[in-house]
Structure 1
Amino acid sequence: MSVDIDITGLPQERIVFGPSPLAELGAALHVLSEPGHHPGLHGWATKTAAGLKPDLLCRMSEAEFLWRSTRSDILLPNRPMPPATLAEELDEVDGLDDETYVEAALEINTSGCTLRCGGGRSPLVDDAARDAALERASARGPRQLDFAQHLLKDPATVRAWIRRLFEDCDDAFFAEVWQRVRPQLAADAREKTELLRRKGLADALKAVSPTVTLEEDARGRRINVDKLTHGRTEATQPGVDPGVTFVPSAFGWPHLVVQHAPGWRPVVEYPVSTPQLRSGPGTSELMEKRLMALAHPVRIRLCWALARAPYTTSELAKSFGITAPEVSRHLKTLREAGMLTTQRHGKYVQHQLDVTVVARLGSDFLESILR
């Protein structure tokens, strides 16, 4: 399984490397929402969250579906070289039309298929797409449902609210973060750009990650990103500036984010450093249960989805194209191995992978399901 970016006929100069303050803010917000994904940043997340005002924390919680389980397209650059400042990138986001913005904001990704509202129809004008968007939001909980309802009713007001939230995050913690990490990210981008110029695309991709490769055959030329999901996009699309943008991130590991939605410039956000994971003790019997639980391809794919966000059994069944009883059997195996947490939200029962448990099984597996 992988995400492919078709670059057939694309000039090499259209492949660029550059840091993005908006993408890095999105990565930092994700760390604050899911510190278990980032054991090397646990101290930063704890300290930062403790220093934030309650009102800002509350507003971040209301909008966290934009960055928690999957990164919304509005948090990634959509032009060849990202601007140098957060304000400039936010200005570019403001330039998106309401239908594009709302569809991207309400995107929910589980199995790797882009579940955009109503299969491409805008929930602002299509009742079926609107109902589908609200149903998915409802499964995420009352806060996300309330947010989605307000966004669909009054997109201009909610868009301004989101921009103000990002600006307040910048004032509260991100400006200091960006000042600290930008030199490292800019240096990495320059290094990859020079490697691309001197040795070619294959070597530059290998330096990004061993899981990013160049494939060439009779079908054309593609950048292949190894992930536990399927996806495909093209570097040349009507109405989109041709090319691919690679964005280094100091907050990214173990994630490798690929923007591959139709109508959006392909973007790969990659980590520039890998923290060391600490192993923890466990009984031999428990370890055996966990390894056996992972000995099935469907359960591995379920882990991929459940590592990102909580999902109901019916959501997983619909997303993976299998029956709800079959999903329940796989979830039972994972739960008995101590790898799942379960919470009830009204009529919905949501399951989520315990990433801290998975981290103790090994960094290779953790990285593969969170990539």
Structure 2
Amino acid sequence: MSVDIDVSGLRPERVSVAPSPLAELSMALHALAEPGHHPGLQGWVTGVTARLDPHLADRMCEADFLWRSTFSDLFLPCAGIPGGTALPGATLGEDLDLLDKLSDEQFVDAAMEFACSLCYGRPGPTALSDPAVRHRTLELAAARGPRQLRFSERLMADPPRTRAWLRRFLEDCEEAFFADTWSQLRHQLAADARHKTDLLRRRGLGEALASVSSAVRLDEAAGRITVDKLAQGRTATGDGGLLLVPTSLGRPHLMVLHRFGWQPVLHYPAGSGEPTAPPSVEQLTLRLAALSHPVRMRMCRSLARSAFTTSELAQVHGMTAPEVSRHLSTLKKAGLLTTRRRGRYVLHQLDVTAVARLGSDFLEGILR
């Protein structure tokens, strides 16, 4: 599974890297709502929560579906500006001004993204224009609780009023805690953006994307960017551009905005890439499948303790050598075995380090 971006015909000057205070605020709100996703931010979350005004905390709960389980495209409004080349604002106020430029249709459609609209990647009816879509959206909102239902009803009944409420809420978040956080982060994000821009100019898009994440690959011949995720989607830059937005608070999330008619955006954790490349979704699937078989689990118990030849494993587990070879082949294909030769014998042993990483690799894979 992956999200693909068709970049055929994309001109180099149409690729931009820029931080966004509004996108970073969405990451801050997400970390406050789901601190388990971001153990490295525990101290920051505790500090902000301790001094948060109770009334503001209640307002966070009122619209937390925008940043808790999904990352609403509303937090990257520049992508929805016609032309497909707009950049984020330098300040939160400028980003919010861009949000105000979205049409009511765009605003409601992006806010109701949790409805998993089939039209996300292609044109189609929206909750404002189609009674059936509106009914389905409200049903899904009701399933998530009365607060979300009330917010959704209010949004669709009076979009301008709800938009004004959201702007005031985000401005209050800036005053309460985000202004201090942004003042500490913006220099790091600006430096990362300059580094990626320099890579774009000197070495091209492929090198710049490789520095974003090992999960992002450019196929120059096919004119396609592939982002390895447990999600599926497709979009194209067309006559517009491609925007890369760094985040400091968002790790390990790697998001791709691929809404139909909007500029494609890669929202990525700032830095120079992972210290060790995480396994792809395909590798992760192979490893989980390899370890799920009861016979291979018993073999792993032996292989974790010592190195064995195929014939030794066959004797220990009461199996034929060909049967053992097939199981070893599955484990090796999944990258869970190390092998070494001793004379005419080949010794197999479980790669304990790879198995120990599997839990964190799995969590990163599903959160990417």
Inter-partner Cα distance in structure 1 for 2:50 and 2:357: 26
Structure 1 partner of 2:228: 226
8 A contact 2:22–2:75 mirrored in 1: yes
Confirm or deny that 1:99 pairs with 2:97: no
CA RMSD of aligned residues (A): 2.6
Matched letter for residue 14 of structure 2: R
Query: SS where residue 265 of structure 1 aligns?
Result: coil
Query: SS where residue 122 of structure 1 aligns?
Result: coil
CA deviation vs aligned residue, 1:280-325 (integer Å, no higher than 9, x gap): xxxxxxxxxxx679859xxxxxxxxxxxxxxxxxxxxxxxxxxxxx
8 A contact 1:106–1:117 mirrored in 2: no
CA shift in 2, pair 1:174/1:360, >3 Å: farther
Query: SS where residue 69 of structure 1 aligns?
Result: coil
Inter-partner Cα distance in structure 2 for 1:234 and 1:275: 27
Structure 1 partner of 2:238: 236
8 A contact 1:117–1:123 mirrored in 2: no
Inter-partner Cα distance in structure 1 for 2:53 and 2:357: 33
Structure 1 partner of 2:31: 31
Residue 216 (structure 1) shift: 3.2
Structure 1 moving runs of 4+ over 4 Å: 113-119, 273-276, 291-296
Q: Percent identity?
A: 55
List aligned pairs for 1:1-371, cutoff 5 A. Answer: 1-76=1-76, 77-78=78-79, 79-108=85-114, 120-217=124-221, 220-236=222-238, 242-273=240-271, 295=292, 362-371=359-368
Inter-partner Cα distance in structure 1 for 2:234 and 2:4: 5
Residue 88 (structure 1) shift: 0.7
TM value normalised by structure 1: 0.73
Instruction: Give 5+ residue unaligned stretches, structure 2.
Output: 80-84, 276-287, 294-355
Query: SS where residue 108 of structure 1 aligns?
Result: helix
CA deviation vs aligned residue, 1:216-267 (integer Å, no higher than 9, x gap): 34xx301111101110001116xxxx11100010011110011001011111
Matched letter for residue 264 of structure 1: W
Inter-partner Cα distance in structure 2 for 1:51 and 1:293: 48
Inter-partner Cα distance in structure 1 for 2:223 and 2:122: 31
Residue 362 (structure 1) shift: 3.1
8 A contact 1:31–1:38 mirrored in 2: yes
Structure 2 partner of 1:333: none
Residue 122 (structure 1) shift: 2.1
CA deviation vs aligned residue, 1:155-178 (integer Å, no higher than 9, x gap): 111110000000000000111111
CA shift in 2, pair 1:275/1:15, >3 Å: closer
Inter-partner Cα distance in structure 2 for 1:207 and 1:38: 22
8 A contact 2:121–2:234 mirrored in 1: no
Query: SS where residue 70 of structure 2 aligns?
Result: coil
Query: SS where residue 223 of structure 2 aligns?
Result: strand
Inter-partner Cα distance in structure 1 for 2:175 and 2:247: 20
8 A contact 2:15–2:242 mirrored in 1: yes
Matched letter for residue 98 of structure 2: E
Matched letter for residue 368 of structure 1: G
Inter-partner Cα distance in structure 2 for 1:6 and 1:231: 11
Inter-partner Cα distance in structure 1 for 2:269 and 2:214: 12
Query: SS where residue 269 of structure 1 aligns?
Result: strand
Residue 119 (structure 1) shift: 7.7
Residue 36 (structure 1) shift: 0.5
Inter-partner Cα distance in structure 2 for 1:93 and 1:136: 25
Inter-partner Cα distance in structure 1 for 2:211 and 2:121: 36
Query: SS where residue 192 of structure 2 aligns?
Result: helix
Residue 47 (structure 1) shift: 1.4
Inter-partner Cα distance in structure 2 for 1:361 and 1:36: 18
Inter-partner Cα distance in structure 2 for 1:66 and 1:86: 17
Matched letter for residue 365 of structure 1: F
8 A contact 2:115–2:137 mirrored in 1: no
Inter-partner Cα distance in structure 2 for 1:160 and 1:143: 18
CA shift in 2, pair 1:109/1:190, >3 Å: farther
CA shift in 2, pair 1:7/1:130, >3 Å: same
TM value normalised by structure 2: 0.73
User: How many residues align structurally?
Assistant: 288
Matched letter for residue 194 of structure 2: R
Instruction: Give 5+ residue unaligned stretches, structure 1.
Output: 277-290, 297-358
Matched letter for residue 82 of structure 1: P
CA shift in 2, pair 1:118/1:223, >3 Å: closer
Matched letter for residue 157 of structure 1: R
CA shift in 2, pair 1:206/1:160, >3 Å: same
